[in-house]
Structure 1
């Protein structure tokens, strides 16, 4: 099955001719980045498909453009058959550079212009305080901590479909955000480790996530941040647990999500999840996972920072050779986005992975904000009846198309 969208991009991305925008309409133009920051994607992407697709204002004086004009143009483009969403489905990631975005509130206005539904994070594992509507820090871990390539929220049943990152302040050295294709990762892994992909398709994964009353590491969340939105200071232990469990039940997972309270008041959640998903627009298989990240982060940062353990769905260990293989492939297919102040990266979380490289200097030298949104088909919960649909891309026709 070939991708339905054309990966080519015109030099100027203008409003469709039938679009009528109130107020001033602007145009974007595509431009090239250094090879270290942008690449041509491999199979199953169509030849010549690049990621990220880099866009900037096609204006004689870009500094004269106001944010309202940008927001208006984004809204109008999206009203024309989800123009930018379709670009994301092809390229995986879009870069916007040189926009009049100066702070969290500007970033919020821009991101909301795409028309997606704000994503409510249930079971958050990082500390992400609210800075503006649906906006918070991307990751507050210390600057020397590696956050390797992963899809957002692969350890829980409910994940966002779109992720926005905004660079409020960029470090001079390091701190890049990786970009890699989950479609390409699946394609390579299926060819190089077919037995591993077969096991993932057959068994799925068991994801065990530990939550504690106190922050487990700098930049991590607490149990209250994860599930305690209704917990009040005066609640007794029984009431607190009931309120936490009520939030867990919102996953709608039934027997596929179980939990155990620990002696210190914490919680261990176990989810049975698929690691192979289907890209809605093409029917192609995508490896929606953080397996390489958990492996690589533990190697670099130390195993003590990993609060998530992922096993095969039958509870058996995933051989290290497969995890190392995923990291090896990821290293080969990814690029590292070198941030410019004001940059915005937009990821289609179903098919594109992100992360964070360590940086030199001070912690405050890198300030990246994040915003998460749901699309029309959130890669989220499933039950027994839906399992076949989750891995439908592994049928003979789809596998043949991806080969």
Structure 2
């Protein structure tokens, strides 16, 4: 492991188990542990400017972060308003304006690697994670370089997905997934309809008052700054094959495939081959970098360049999240 010292800060690649990411994440530590991050924020910003697009993610360790308000102030220090978790796909709790709990899935459930809100046409470019309480075991946040995922996938598969795009289908509520009121942060149907029209989402109110949406999105994207191609979608996460076989079989037998909470197809509505999705999952597994959280750690990712997930865990765990900088819209 090599390190470079700049002023009051030192950088080094964090090497974790199952690591195939080179320097990812680049670890940034103060030369004096416990240093208040505010005292060296200019140096931190310079290192972020220098390394984030190259590496994709930085891990700040051994700084003095004193809870949620401090974390919010740090995320805001990079010059963008924090984003609300609109058009949500997982349960979270809002802690303050722009700060949320990480996904509140049961501890035994793995969250596959993914890029935040890549199932939409409007995603955050930056995302921060702050470790407040470390689990007794497990609970890591695996990450993977989206450029490397793209490079390792079969060229024919990449072309097929890029050319055809994806269509995400969601059925809200009925005790199976988020109610539409929670997903859209509103009780007003008219607000949902405005949001859907503005974001090219086809919507349908069903006879029972529940909502179904369809949205055609990218499978591959070019980073607006580096121009590098990245694998940027959640097909392997949204697809029915992500469920355990018995759960999937039971769900389909009870409600039918058209009514499952979420699924994904090629952009023209054709089914995606499960062999392709298995290949995608295998490549993500081969690219993942896993490191143990420490209390007080803050990780900053370029959301297009690096995917993240969550390992299973035991004991109490608390990681909070902030997002910023909406992706540039094509002209």
Tell me if TM exceeds 0.5: yes
For the aligned residue pairs, the C-alpha RMSD in angstroms reads 2.5
Per the TM alignment, residue 153 of structure 1 is displaced from its structure 2 partner at its CA by: 0.8
Match of 2:93 in 1: 129
TM-score for the superposition, normalised by structure 1: 0.73
Per the TM alignment, residue 98 of structure 1 is displaced from its structure 2 partner at its CA by: 1.1
Match of 1:216 in 2: 176
* Residue from 40, 53, 58 that aligns with 2:31: 58
Q: Contact 2:84/2:97 (CA < 8 Å) preserved in 1?
A: no
Q: Rg: which structure is higher? A: 1
1:331 aligns with 2:285: yes
For structure 2, the 5+ residue unaligned runs are 253-259
Per the TM alignment, residue 155 of structure 1 is displaced from its structure 2 partner at its CA by: 1.7
* Residue from 374, 383, 395 that aligns with 2:325: 374
For structure 1, the 5+ residue unaligned runs are 1-7, 15-26, 42-49, 232-239, 387-403
Residues 131-170 of structure 1: matches in 2 within 5 Å?
Answer: 131-170=95-134
- Distance in 1 between the 2:318 and 2:142 partners? 16
Per the TM alignment, residue 150 of structure 1 is displaced from its structure 2 partner at its CA by: 0.5
Match of 2:227 in 1: 283
TM-score for the superposition, normalised by structure 2: 0.88
Per the TM alignment, residue 10 of structure 1 is displaced from its structure 2 partner at its CA by: 5.6
1:243 aligns with 2:191: yes
Give the 3-state SS of the residue equivalent to 2:243 in structure 1: helix
Per the TM alignment, residue 195 of structure 1 is displaced from its structure 2 partner at its CA by: 2.1
Larger relative contact order (Cα-Cα within 8 Å, sequence gap ≥ 6):
2
Give the 3-state SS of the residue equivalent to 1:117 in structure 2: coil
Match of 2:256 in 1: none
Distance change in 2, residues 1:222/1:13 (3 Å): farther
- Distance in 2 between the 1:300 and 1:66 partners? 49
Match of 2:255 in 1: none
- Distance in 2 between the 1:184 and 1:226 partners? 31
Show CA shifts across 1:294-314 (max 9, x none): 457424894459833111111
Match of 2:57 in 1: 93
Show CA shifts across 1:14-70 (max 9, x none): 4xxxxxxxxxxxx221235344175444xxxxxxxx1000111112xx23x33432x
- Distance in 2 between the 1:247 and 1:215 partners? 23
Q: Contact 1:204/1:312 (CA < 8 Å) preserved in 2?
A: yes
- Distance in 1 between the 2:73 and 2:118 partners? 27
Distance change in 2, residues 1:133/1:293 (3 Å): same
- Distance in 1 between the 2:286 and 2:43 partners? 37
1:68 aligns with 2:38: yes
1:298 aligns with 2:243: yes
Give the 3-state SS of the residue equivalent to 1:108 in structure 2: helix
Match of 2:14 in 1: 33
Match of 1:395 in 2: none
- Distance in 2 between the 1:99 and 1:123 partners? 33
Match of 1:4 in 2: none
